[in-house]
Amino acid sequence: MTTLAGASRIGNPAINIGIFTAFVVVTLAIVLVVGRKRTKAADFYTGGGSFSGMQNGIAMSGDYLSAASFLGIAGAVAVYGYDGFLYSIGFIVSWLVALLVVAEAIRNTGRFTLADVLSFRLRQRPVRIATALTTLTVSLLYLLSQMTGAGGLVALLLDITDRTHQSIVIAVVGLLMISYVVLGGMRGTTWVQIIKAVLLVCGVVGITAWILARYHFDVSALLRSAQHAISNSSNVAVAHRDVLAPGAEYGTTTMSKLNLISLAMALVLGTAGLPHVLMRFYTVPTAREARKSVVWAIGIIGAFYLMTLVLGYGAAAMVGPDRILGAPGGQNSAAPLVALQLGGVVLLGIIAAVAFATILAVVAGLTITASACVAHDLYAGVLKKGKVSEQQQVRVSRYAAVTIGVIAILLGILANGQNTAFLVSLAFAVAASANLPPILYSLFWRRFNTRGALWSMYGGLLSTVLLIVFSPAVSGRADAMLPHADFAWFPLSNPGIVTIPLSFLLGIAGTVTAKRPADPDKYAEMSVRVLTGREFTTSGPAGPTSQDQGVRTP
């Protein structure tokens, strides 16, 4: 077995690259087959609503279980113990909000994008512009974490310490992401996500069982071993932590407790505002199938995050925090390193390929959401005011996918080395602050109007971005994005505790101060859609806006 101390490179580069190449070739072939001759907007954006609840649930879990889940959380648990597992708890609980509050309601509106839902009974142009900005911000932050995970993963496998070479890896991931979206649309992307979800869950189940078998399925013995490794770490920030108790980041001081509450609010409320998750509700033909897909997703995601606890503590016990932090990729290397320790270079290559598949599938889903936002909301809805053909929308979506991919590559290079789970939590903070309040108000508050929506979205977006920039996440400490700068006047790493309530309050303030009242007829129409799914057919969005795919002129 190849050991960590006895190899100049971790694993066998030829095996790793071979498995990567095989996965890319197979998935690209699938994308070409299922995505050909798809020129309708409904096919490109939502796969024509042709997936079953089970298929969509598996794809949804594949879309959600990102590099942050597999690499970031496992690494955070291995190094920080309890503090790392808090991410898993938040990601699991968040799906209950999505299931109980928004899944059926969003699906029954029969639209393509988040802007279609929010602009249904509000003024089209300003709401679509605001929603496009929040969607693109969330998507780019999420893409940032995936690109970072890709750079760290391949740096680990090929022992690449030069940032220029890591940047090339990130660029390759971006080009593959663009290919999946441009060639396959939502239909091809969904099948890639289904394959990836199956591979990821099977891989994690196998490693989890192997780790537990090493300790004779005695969880207490595993925790004792992990505690011993963490306590004896040479890293001052890691040593002497209790693996089952809050650490300095989330629990020993008043500020750290506020940081925990802020993180929890962002994670629990953020999923219901993630544009790429909401868009998946339209890939099934009925609201019942949408609910079923969320139930499937909750089951898969819940089991997965419970296994990350074993994966993280297993990495701490068998590899050690010092080796994890010292490896190329840092914390994100924990899962591949424990695979190497268990099964040598072959298992490492398989798990690395699964992680790589995870990154490609998630970035493809994010890219198609962002490109749909640009083409459907900004180009068709704002610039063309609905006077555009489906073929034109699809063509602009493909151009947008290329542009967004290039931007994601550049941002990924800048953020290379950051913990992926932490970067995703920032995207959740934006989604919970800028998207969720207007969604809930639009669906369930009769008086809600355009000013309330704009104040809520812009206020939530700007306040979140501003507080992130001036937080310890960006400057002021060694693990920040800019470790040599210090302008962190906001003390919390995640701003959710401030920005989420602020966005809800701004939505109320904007609504009650507006001179132009809400349209009661539009609210009544939307309420009927939310409760019954009226005017929806299995061929795609229908009803009074079927000719323009949800784009209405003011």
- CA dihedral sign, ordered 21, 26, 28, 29: positive
pLDDT value at position 418? Answer: 61
The CA-based diameter of the chain, rounded to the nearest angstrom, is 73
Give the tokens for residue 536.
């929806």
pLDDT value at position 415? Answer: 67
Under-70 pLDDT residues of the chain: 1-13, 16, 35-50, 67-68, 110-111, 149-163, 165-166, 236-240, 247-252, 328-329, 415-422, 478-483, 533-554
DSSP-based three-state secondary structure for 540: strand
Q: In whole angstroms, how far apart are CA 450 and each of 214, 241, 275?
A: 59, 50, 20
Please tell me the distance from the alpha carbon of residue 371 to that of residue 441, in angstroms, as a whole number.
26
The predicted model scores a pTM of 0.78
Rounded to the nearest angstrom, the gap between the alpha carbon of residue 94 and the centroid of all alpha carbons in its chain is: 12
Please tell me the distance from the alpha carbon of residue 412 to that of residue 47, in angstroms, as a whole number.
28
pLDDT value at position 417? Answer: 61
Give the tokens for residue 287.
């609201």
Structural domains in the chain, CATH included, are 13-428 (1.20.1730.10)
